[in-house]
């Protein structure tokens, strides 16, 4: 492998590491917003971040709580260009 190829590999590794750290930072910030919610169920929602998309996962009892989680992340995390809300609404029958 020539020195130019090695140099590109190092730069690519640095970009990947920087991208990973940025993604981890956005994901951590979004998770923190959810954990600070006044709603217990929203605190259990988990998220991931990749390519400008924050994906929300978990289960809540109402569509309102699903929307609360999405709104919290959308308002507090400007890097969340898109939110993929995959939260399931599990309505208990009683």
Q: What is the pLDDT of residue 37?
A: 94
Residue 94 lies in a domain: no
Closest alpha carbon to 80 in 56, 57, 64, 59: 56
Residue 27 lies in a domain: yes
Per-position b or e across 47-57, b if 16+ CB within 10 A of its CB: bbbeeeebbbe
Count of structural domains, the chain = 1
Residue 42 lies in a domain: yes
Task: CATH number of the domain at 23, please.
Answer: 3.30.1340.30
Q: Quote the domain boundaries for residue 7.
A: 3-89
Residue 55 lies in a domain: yes
Q: What is the pLDDT of residue 88?
A: 97
Residue 79 lies in a domain: yes
pLDDT tens digits, one per residue of 13-62:
455 455 667 778 888 889 999 999 999 999 999 999 888 899 999 999 99
């Amino acid at each position: 492998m020539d020195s130019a190829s090695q140099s590109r590999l190092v730069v690519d590794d640095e970009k990947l590491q920087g991208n990973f750290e940025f993604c981890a930072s956005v994901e951590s910030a979004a998770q923190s917003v959810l954990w600070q919610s006044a709603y217990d169920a929203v605190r259990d929602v988990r998220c991931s971040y990749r390519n400008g998309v924050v994906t929300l996962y978990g289960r809540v009892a109402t569509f309102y709580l699903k929307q609360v989680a999405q709104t919290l992340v959308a308002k507090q995390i400007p890097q969340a260009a898109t939110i993929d809300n995959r939260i399931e609404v599990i309505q208990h029958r009683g």
